[in-house]
Chain A
Amino acid sequence: MATFNLTINGTSQQVDVDPSTPMLWVLRDHLDLVGTKFGCGIAQCGACTIHMNGNAVRSCQLPVSAAEGASITTIEGLSEQGDHPVQKAWMEHDVPQCGYCQAGQIMTAAALLQQNPNPSDEDIENAMNGNICRCGTYTRIKAAVKTASQNL
């Protein structure tokens, strides 16, 4: 066990955990930020996507020791009122079915638009390809990313 000082959604947090603990479980079990989801544990599904210094990362593969000093954003901190252009576009297109993967999808999309505000279809497909949606809402996800890019 060791103490780690983290900056999550703009707030300083301290946790006392094993250094190997992935951020996914630090967020979910220790900080009660459960919007970040567990899907596969091996960085293959994208359900656990968060932002580290603005980049989309898979929190199941990010040890807490590597997150110290970085600025971490989770779905809960993407916007204060749930009105980030990506979140709004997701609601406008009524994207979710079961909803489980969508926080990860949204975080990936938000990071994409941060770096590339006008992505082409191919850019969107490439960026979103790491996020599995078992319900198959991919066409709506793509449409929502385009809408969000127009409303940045």
Chain B
Amino acid sequence: MATLDKKLDRRSFLKVSALAGGGMVLSFSWLAGCKPITEEELLAMPKEWFELNSYIKIGENGAVTLFSPNPEFGSNVKTSMPMILAEELDTDWKKVIVEQADFYPERFDRQFTGGSQGIRQGWKPLRTAGATARAMLVAAAAKTWNVSPTEITTSAGVLEHKGSGKKAHYGEMASLAATMELPEQVTLKETKDFKIVGSSKKNVDAQKIVTGKPLFSIDHKVEGMKYAAIVHPPAFGMKLKSFDKSSIAGMSGIVDVFPIRLFKEDYERNFFDTTTFPEILAIVGNSTWEVMQAKKNLAVEWENASESSFEVGGFGGRPNTKVTVLSGLENTNRHKEQMKEFITKPGNVVRRDGDPEGMFKKAAKIIEKTYSAPFLAHNTMEPMNCFADVKGDKAVIYGPTQAPEMIMGTLVQALGIPKENIQINLARMGGGFGRRAYSHHMTEAALISQKIQAPVKMVYTREDDMTAGVYRPTYSATYRAALDENNNLLALHVKAGGIPESPIHANRFPAGALDNYLAESWDIPSNITIGAFRAPRSNFIAGAEQSFLDELAEVMDKDPIEFRLELLKRAEINPVGENNDYDAKRYAGVLELVREKSNWNTPATGVHRGVSAYFCHNSYVAEVVDTKIVDSKPVVEKVYAAVDCGIVVNPDAATNMGEGAIVDGIGNAFFGELAFENGVPTKTNFDKYRMIRQKETPKSIEIHFVDSKEDPTGLGEPFFPPVFAALANSLYKATGKRYYEQPFAPQLEMQNLKM
């Protein structure tokens, strides 16, 4: 039996209270007892992270309500996280009601969905909370029946004392349980006794989704609400000069047009205050269509912005950084030239093992390949939008955000309203993918509402959304391998960078597997704003690294899986260097599993296969992609994925997540691209920005989980990075050509293939 550490218990801040009208509420801290491993780490954590931020509510009627504090953007945390609670509470899942908690700063600090951390960080506190509530119900029953709590068992929400035959539903004991002392320690279930965790549960919102119920903030409406559209500068490097109000005067349903500024002069921005355009125009009117029409007619003059700089607070306690926004209008062609210049220039050495330079000098053969990928737009299906009702010194904000905690400070400064008077209600998000960690749209709606002193719903057009920045950066990576005369690998060198950030993870594989290894990093500043995009940095570097290893294996005349396993074996038994950021055995485990499940050595006739594996966000994934050329068209026939994410909480939902990330990766590898001409994005809507659709989707996807008793880790991101190389390596087999530059579709078309 796993027993909780008392130190963690003391800091858990569990709190029990009686429910008005009967029943109990157990409040608990979301983070306590999970992330910190050492006492030092525990003490270093901000105090407010331990505030009570989630609930189990048990009514006298036995209804169990579990509040899911993390915003839902499609990763299914609203179902999976309460499953963990319900498991330890030992209740009947069918009787559980899950509610989305709103953002209350006094209770819900640290509500963040991103970095594939929801399940990983929620695991222990959720289990502890569930077990605590169960223990208190048991204590209440023991007192009522005058028996020892150790003689009481629970199952599916029912307490039982076998000796006397007494039974009670949780609801019957809930009011008394609310008066019991919080237990000093609780015992958690053994994993073999799990009944809910590990069995597939349907999405708790499925019925509402398929019947079109209002779940998103874009669906919200209140009496007297106005509608707003925004107009932002047409190019990066431009700002508002002037606008002519009379150009839309007299248009049907238009109330007002005015500029809004997101940040006051002396405001120090936080890490998620990224926005491309801190000053925009707002058009307010009586309906969405009317403000969108006015948007087309509004006469605005723009001018070139001069260089500016500001301080940004560090994320997670890191030091502040100074951000400089360059002046000028940038071009993709120039970006490509700039990135090429770095191939021959020295970068910043971020890792060196052995004597890589020496090995390259004495190498019999050197292989060098450069990989690149463009900027990408997130393109969440629900465009940026937000509802706000700001009157006097009170504000209610309802919008899609992955990081309510981070936007609160921004709202406080922008509105001049104290935190306690701002209520942030969390909407289900129509996709996030990192984009909604940057919640400037909430500040914009709030400022518009404050100006008109009425409730307002602001909605971006698709064009606004696609051209408003916060993109996945453009990257480039050059890999070099030194081989001796017998094609033995002597050294590996990677030099990678991007605009405006580098994709390098210094201590990830293959670092640790090679005696001689060199990693260099560079970056080029830009005024095009970027932000987190599903598996930031990994989403590029995995494709480059795993494509290069494939090419290397071929030169070395080795099976691509066998070659990777050899490297991982070395990293496992005799790792090179320190701080290697992966578990080589688990890494090898997913490659072995995918080899077995895909029958790697005996592919179906006419099928070309490629493999790739990557570790990020605490989970390991290996993938095999099978392609076929059918009527001059590359078709992804099948994808096999093997993943090690520890215990799988909700297998079918996890499988869905994996399938989606694989489709997303194939789509971006084939088509994803945003380019710039004089600062203007060259694509503004889905007619030009090609997204993967039903026809390009793999005919079948198989997801296999490594059977594991390890604590669960995240899944939203790890399936995504390996697909790029698995596809490229498969296409190489199909066409005889390597694909170094994303997206692949234009190159395939140049080979007379239909895309």
Q: Do A and B come from one complex?
A: yes
Q: Mark A residues whose CB is within 8 Å of B.
A: 1, 17-18, 20-22, 25, 28-30, 32-42, 44-45, 47, 74-76, 78, 82, 87, 90-91, 94-103, 106, 121, 124-126, 128-142
Contact status B691-A132, CB under 8 Å: yes
Apart from A42-B685, A44-B687, A94-B656, 14 more pairs, CB < 8 Å:
A34-B218, A39-B382, A39-B383, A47-B381, A76-B212, A91-B210, A94-B202, A96-B74, A98-B73, A101-B381, A101-B430, A125-B694, A130-B693, A136-B667
Whole-angstrom CA separation of A82 from B210 in the bound complex:
7
The residue among B212, B221, B227, B662 with the most chain A CB atoms within 10 A of its own CB is B212
Q: Is B203 an interface residue (CB 8 A)?
A: yes
Contact of A75 among B205, B211, B216, B430 (CB under 8 A): B211
Whole-angstrom CA separation of A37 from B462 in the bound complex:
12
Set of chain B residues within 8 Å of A75, measured between Cβ atoms? 210-212
Contact of B381 among A95, A130, A133 (CB under 8 A): A133
**Distance of A64 from chain B, by nearest CB (Å):** 10
Whole-angstrom CA separation of A82 from B206 in the bound complex:
11
Contact status A135-B210, CB under 8 Å: no
Set of chain B residues within 8 Å of A141, measured between Cβ atoms? 694
Contact status B380-A134, CB under 8 Å: yes
| Given A39-B381, A45-B686, A90:B206 Cβ within 8 A | yes
Contact of A96 among B209, B252, B459 (CB under 8 A): B209
Q: Is B577 an interface residue (CB 8 A)?
A: no
**Distance of B382 from chain A, by nearest CB (Å):** 5
Whole-angstrom CA separation of A61 from B459 in the bound complex:
18
Residue of A nearest to B700 (CB): A139
The residue among A21, A39, A98, A142 with the most chain B CB atoms within 10 A of its own CB is A98
Residue of A nearest to B79 (CB): A94
Set of chain B residues within 8 Å of A20, measured between Cβ atoms? 293
Q: Is B446 an interface residue (CB 8 A)?
A: no
Contact status A21-B663, CB under 8 Å: no
Contact status A103-B212, CB under 8 Å: yes
Contact status A25-B287, CB under 8 Å: yes
Residue of B nearest to A34 (CB): B219
Jot down 19 A-B pairs with beta carbons below 8 A, ordered by A.
A1-B252, A25-B288, A34-B214, A36-B212, A37-B430, A39-B383, A42-B686, A45-B381, A91-B210, A96-B203, A99-B74, A99-B215, A99-B430, A100-B216, A106-B210, A126-B695, A135-B381, A139-B700, A140-B656
Contact of A38 among B74, B433, B459, B663 (CB under 8 A): B459
**Distance of B65 from chain A, by nearest CB (Å):** 21
Q: Is B601 an interface residue (CB 8 A)?
A: no
Whole-angstrom CA separation of A41 from B293 in the bound complex:
12
**Distance of A113 from chain B, by nearest CB (Å):** 15
Contact of B661 among A74, A103, A136 (CB under 8 A): A136
Q: Is B29 an interface residue (CB 8 A)?
A: no
**Distance of B290 from chain A, by nearest CB (Å):** 7
| Given A91-B202, A124-B694, A142-B694, A28:B288 Cβ within 8 A | yes
**Distance of B702 from chain A, by nearest CB (Å):** 10
| Given A94-B203, A97-B76, A37:B210 Cβ within 8 A | no
Q: Is B652 an interface residue (CB 8 A)?
A: yes
Q: Is B213 an interface residue (CB 8 A)?
A: yes
**Distance of B425 from chain A, by nearest CB (Å):** 16
Residue of B nearest to A124 (CB): B694
Whole-angstrom CA separation of A68 from B322 in the bound complex:
58
Q: Is B657 an interface residue (CB 8 A)?
A: yes
Whole-angstrom CA separation of A79 from B293 in the bound complex:
34
Set of chain B residues within 8 Å of A135, measured between Cβ atoms? 74, 381, 431, 660, 664
User: What mask results when residues 227 to 239 of chain B are scored 1 for a CB within 8 Å of chain A, else 0?
Assistant: 1000000000000
Q: Is B397 an interface residue (CB 8 A)?
A: no
Whole-angstrom CA separation of A34 from B459 in the bound complex:
14
**Distance of B384 from chain A, by nearest CB (Å):** 12
Contact status A100-B382, CB under 8 Å: yes
Residue of A nearest to B462 (CB): A40
Set of chain B residues within 8 Å of A76, measured between Cβ atoms? 211-212
| Given A99-B215, A131-B694, A18:B381 Cβ within 8 A | no
Whole-angstrom CA separation of A75 from B207 in the bound complex:
12
Contact status A97-B288, CB under 8 Å: no
Contact status B290-A18, CB under 8 Å: yes
Q: Is B653 an interface residue (CB 8 A)?
A: yes
Set of chain B residues within 8 Å of A47, measured between Cβ atoms? 381
Q: Is B429 an interface residue (CB 8 A)?
A: yes
User: What mask results when residues 429 to 456 of chain B are scored 1 for a CB within 8 Å of chain A, else 0?
Assistant: 1111100000000000000000000000
The residue among A41, A78, A102 with the most chain B CB atoms within 10 A of its own CB is A41
Contact status B429-A94, CB under 8 Å: no
Contact status B430-A74, CB under 8 Å: no
Contact status A102-B210, CB under 8 Å: yes
**Distance of B303 from chain A, by nearest CB (Å):** 28
